[in-house]
């Protein structure tokens, strides 16, 4: 049987989603916990990776196991054993051809910027901006990224790793109480893509890049990766969207 989980995590103390040597990953912690509770070595398949210190409200993964009769009870047991910074929000049975990564039709990410006073209690959950920014200029420039584009200059992904074309459906930018939130929805985001886009937009907000310069970076046929990558702690994977499960 195949199961799909939605998981929320505080990424502060992890080297990211994906299992790696010599560093603790969220995937590793969940696999160990699942394997223990199912009493069987169990691998999980995420919708994609998140970087070190990046958070999630709604990362997803699937796994295969014998039938789990009481899913609520199973979720409760998992959360009892998982560390305090990883919480399974839901678990449901899905069809055998469902795949948390391949079946996803879009993803929604949130990036949070604090343009007010530095707040030590929030230091791992927002990116601090110490300078004044022009939010209108940022909103204006953000429109350039919406649509289908070659994002080769906004990812560190290797050249030979398929192609760089992705579609961003929407970028919604709001400010409330000195907290600026960027919500991105798109059909896929490559490694560091949102952090490069936000980092580049911040340069526009600081008056160091013009809208035309950003346009040139997007339109360029040459690969020349943006030098501006926003910090990881302001980034959250909000939701992975599926058509059917």
Task: Find the catalytic residue in 51, 72, 97, 172.
Answer: 51
How many residues sit in the footprint of its own copies (CB under 8 A)?
13
Binding segment toward its own copies, per CB under 8 A, in 31-39, 81-89, 140-148, 172-180: 81-89
Whether 119 is catalytic is no
Q: How far is the CB of 123 from its own copies (least distance, A)?
A: 5
According to CB under 8 A, which residues from 120 to 139 bind its own copies? Answer: 120-121, 123, 125
- HSE at residue 87, side-chain half, CA atoms within 13 A, is 10
22/121 with CB nearer its own copies: 121
CA distances to 6, 37, 100 from 68, in Å: 16, 11, 19
Q: Note whether 8 binds its own copies by CB under 8 A.
A: yes
CA–CA distance, 81 with 210 (Å, rounded to integer): 50
Residue 242 bridge partners (DSSP)? 104
Residue 69 Ramachandran class (φ > 0 left, ψ -120 to 50 alpha, else beta): alpha
126/171 with CB nearer its own copies: 126
Q: How far is the CB of 109 from its own copies (least distance, A)?
A: 16
Question: How does DSSP classify residue 76?
Answer: H
Q: Determine which residue in the list 92, 118, 216, 223 makes contact with its own copies, applying CB under 8 A.
A: 118
Asked if 235 contacts 55 with a C-beta cutoff of 8 angstroms, the reply is: yes
Residue 178: alpha-carbon gap to chain centroid: 23
Q: How far is the CB of 92 from its own copies (least distance, A)?
A: 19
Q: How far is the CB of 179 from its own copies (least distance, A)?
A: 14
- Label residue 150 exposed, middle or buried (CB < 10 Å: 0-12, 13-18, 19+): middle
130/160 with CB nearer its own copies: 130
Q: Note whether 9 binds its own copies by CB under 8 A.
A: yes
Q: How far is the CB of 85 from its own copies (least distance, A)?
A: 5
Going 175 to 176 to 178 to 183, the CA torsion angle's sign is negative
Asked if 243 contacts 105 with a C-beta cutoff of 8 angstroms, the reply is: yes
Q: Note whether 72 binds its own copies by CB under 8 A.
A: no
Q: Note whether 91 binds its own copies by CB under 8 A.
A: no
Q: Which two tokens stand for residue 175?
A: 């400010």
Binding segment toward its own copies, per CB under 8 A, in 22-30, 70-78, 82-90, 159-167: 82-90
b/e code 69-87 from CB counts within 10 Å (16+ = b): eeeeebbeebeeebeeebb
Q: Determine which residue in the list 2, 55, 107, 239 makes contact with its own copies, applying CB under 8 A.
A: 55
Q: Please give the residue ranges that form the binding site for its own copies (CB under 8 A).
A: 8-10, 55, 84-87, 118, 120-121, 123, 125
Active site residues: 51
């Amino acid at each position: 049987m195949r199961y799909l989980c939605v998981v929320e995590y505080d990424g502060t103390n992890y080297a990211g989603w994906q299992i790696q040597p010599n560093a603790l990953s969220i995937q590793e912690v969940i696999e160990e916990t699942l394997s223990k509770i199912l009493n069987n070595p169990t691998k999980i398949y995420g919708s994609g990776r998140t970087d070190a210190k990046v958070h999630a409200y709604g990362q997803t993964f699937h796994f295969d196991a014998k039938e789990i009769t009481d899913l609520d009870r199973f979720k409760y047991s998992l959360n009892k054993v998982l560390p305090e910074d990883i919480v399974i929000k839901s678990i449901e049975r899905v069809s055998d051809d469902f795949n948390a990564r391949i079946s996803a039709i879009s993803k929604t990410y949130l990036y949070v910027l604090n343009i007010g006073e530095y707040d030590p209690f929030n230091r791992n959950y927002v990116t601090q901006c110490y300078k004044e920014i022009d939010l209108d200029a940022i909103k204006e420039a953000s429109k350039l990224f919406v649509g289908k584009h070659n994002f080769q200059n906004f990812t560190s992904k290797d050249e030979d790793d398929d192609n760089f074309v992705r579609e961003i459906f929407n970028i919604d930018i709001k400010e409330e109480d000195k907290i600026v939130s960027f919500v991105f929805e798109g059909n896929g985001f490559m490694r560091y893509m949102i952090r490069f886009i936000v980092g580049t937009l911040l340069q526009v907000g600081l008056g160091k890049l013009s809208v035309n310069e950003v346009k040139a970076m997007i339109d360029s046929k040459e690969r020349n990766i943006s030098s501006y990558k926003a910090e990881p702690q302001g980034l959250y994977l909000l939701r992975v969207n599926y058509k059917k499960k």
